[in-house]
Structure 1
């Protein structure tokens, strides 16, 4: 019982720390896809990481003039 609680707490703490520094959680993404979108293909880790970077920072091309 205590080890299960400690395991969950560690998992949540790790996830929180990754989110604080901007690292997406690939394992959570895979779990979500398998549960809610079983008909869609799951991105590889590299595809997922690139997509998250683009979503956060854009493609590097600015549309503004300055």
Structure 2
């Protein structure tokens, strides 16, 4: 069961990376270690910023 959850976690991470969304926990760890005086973005803000950066504001459209 533990192995199945581990595999599911890796699959989820891979899908997020393919969609252009880096790992939120890595972002939070980076913010805490490198920028302790700045609060990290919420997951919603993080996701939106990643989508905007990837698609240059064209979320949901190809052109």
Do Structure 1 and Structure 2 share a fold, with TM-score over 0.5? yes
TM-score, with structure 2 as normaliser: 0.63
User: What is the Cα-based RMSD across aligned positions, in Å?
Assistant: 2.3
TM-score (norm 1): 0.61
Bigger RCO of structures 1 and 2 (CA < 8 A, at least 6 apart): 2
Structure 2: 5+ residue stretches without partners: 1-5
* Structure (1 or 2) with the larger CA radius of gyration: 1
- Give the unaligned 5+ runs of structure 1: 1-9, 61-65
Q: Which runs of 4+ in 1 moved over 2 A?
A: 18-23
